[in-house]
Each structure stands twice: as structure tokens, then as C-alpha cells.
Amino acid sequence: MASRTVSAFAAEEEKRVLSLRPVLAPVHGSYGNHPHQVYDAWPAEDPDAPLVILLHGGYWRYDRMHLTPFAAYLSQRGFDVLLPGFRRSGGAGGYPETFDDIARIVDTLPQGRPYVLAGHCSGGHLALWCAARGLLPPGSRWHTRSLPTAVLALAPITDLAATRRDDLSNGAALQLLGGEDLFEQRLPSVDPLTLLRGAGTTGVPTVLLHGAVDEEVPLAQFADYASVHRDLKTVVLPGTGHYTLIEPGAPGARAVADTLGEMSAAFGTRRPDSDGRKASRT
């Protein structure tokens, strides 16, 4: 496949957002023994603050540092934020380790609290996969009935076969699943679109939010997923690209924070107001 042409708008957006200085979290913890099985936390002072667990992007290869400014921004908006790391493709992770870690994260870190699981790009893929774990066969290592309270997928990769076909990020999907020989065998257990076919819903309240001028993930991935998920809510932001969804203070990031507030209020936690203070319980 020929290299994609990226506009000056998209190139500047990516450089601007990914060049932001990382923000040190006030709290760090671990959920396993591997050095990557750690998390950063921005605890809220209010015990009733809505909990958000963020899964970072980077095509399953890169670490979470680029998402720390956005995590800190959500904390300022009144959310209790967890940003976990996990074993990544191209190193200690890939199939099955990356998925083992994501399953452990959502099975242990919420500690019984309701929460929104939010993920950006490949992190959105992992969030949508978590919502679909109940659709896995009961004998699967990742099958569970303990699903996220709600999922917000931000410009997510929804279709690993299309990601492979379009050669996004130089073979990232093939690398994640262990190469050509294993791709088809492993795809059904970790691909959100494949898992959703037939069922039509995960049963988890899910919102897919993306920019109308996203040039990183083909817009067809969002449309194809929405055509299969019968109770999905979609939010499309005009004039918005891939990265400004996680750029603190940008209109896209404000829309993400507002959506998180609405989703949290739907399951009974208080919705932060626009200044990060607590609004009344709804």
C-alpha cells in the first residue's frame, strides 16, 4: 500500500500535542510484578468524584507519558483519574500479554467502584475489547461477566483486519498479534468488530467520539463499528482531528470531559461542572 498523505493541519496537530511536556502524577502504584504493570493516579479530593480509567494510544507500542497532560487536565475538571501502563507490543507485550494486563487492570483497579473506561486510538480498541469480553466463549482466558460500567472510545481502532489491510503505523496490528502466521487465528478473540458481529451489542453503555477530520484512523472504521453496534452513541466533532481530543483545554478535550461527565452522571456519580467543581447529583 502506498504511504498515506498527511495534511499540514494533521501534521501540526500531532507534533503540537505529542510534544507536550509530561506531567508527573501525585500517586503511583502497581497491579503486578512486571515493571510495566504500574499506574499513575490523580486522586480527587471529593470521595464522590467520578472515576475514569484511561487507556493510552500509541499503536500498542508506546508508553503512557504522552497522555499524562490529558490525565492531569481531567483531574482539574473534577475527575478521579487512573492512567495505567501495560506490557506493550514489540517488547514484553503483544498477544497475549497486553490483553492479560488490560484484563487485570479493569478487573482489579476500580475496586468495586463504577467507572468510565476511556481509551484513545489503540487504547480505544482496548476499551472496546474490554466491553466485549462478555461475548467471548466461557472457556476463554479473558471471558468475564464483570464489565466496565461504561466505555468512551476516543478516535478508536475498531477493526484489526482493516488496520492490517491499511498498514496503519507500519504493521502495528500484525505486530500486536504475532505476525502473519498467527493473525487470523488470534483475531476473533481480541477484535471488537469481530466480537460484536452477531451479538449487536456488548451490553455496556458505549460512546464513540471522534473528530470529523481525523487523518490517523480511517473514518470508515468508526462507521463500520457503528453500523454493527445497535445501541452505540456516536459523537462527531466538526473540524477536529485525531490528537486534539487529548490536548488539554482544546475544544475537543473539553467535549471529551463533558461527555465523561454526562456518562458518569448516568450511573449515579456527580457530574463536575465546567470549572472542575462538583455539580449536584443527577
Record the cell numbers describing residue 97, joined without a space.
Answer: 500479554
| Pairwise CA distance, residues 62 & 59, whole Å | 7
Separate counts of helices (H) and strands (E) for the chain? 10, 8
| Pairwise CA distance, residues 101 & 85, whole Å | 9
β-pair partners for 211: 237
Task: Please give the CATH architecture assigned to the domain spanning 8-266.
Answer: 3-Layer(aba) Sandwich (3.40)
pLDDT confidence of residue 43: 97
The DSSP-derived string for 240-276 is --SSGGGSTTSHHHHHHHHHHHHHHHHTTPPPB-TTS
pLDDT confidence of residue 268: 79
Q: Are 164 and 174 within 8 A, CB to CB?
A: yes
Q: Are 204 and 114 within 8 A, CB to CB?
A: no
Q: Which residues of the chain have pLDDT under 50?
A: 1-2, 278-282
Q: Which amino acid is at 89?
A: S
Rounded to the nearest integer, the mean pLDDT of the chain is: 94
For the stretch 56-72, pLDDT in tens is 999 999 999 999 999 99
| Pairwise CA distance, residues 141 & 99, whole Å | 10
pLDDT confidence of residue 190: 98
pTM: 0.95
| Pairwise CA distance, residues 140 & 150, whole Å | 22
| Pairwise CA distance, residues 233 & 152, whole Å | 10
| Pairwise CA distance, residues 116 & 52, whole Å | 5
pLDDT confidence of residue 195: 97
For the stretch 72-121, pLDDT in tens is 999 999 999 999 999 999 999 999 999 999 999 999 999 999 999 999 99
Per-domain boundaries in the chain: 8-266
pLDDT confidence of residue 2: 41
Record the cell numbers describing residue 236, joined without a space.
Answer: 462527531
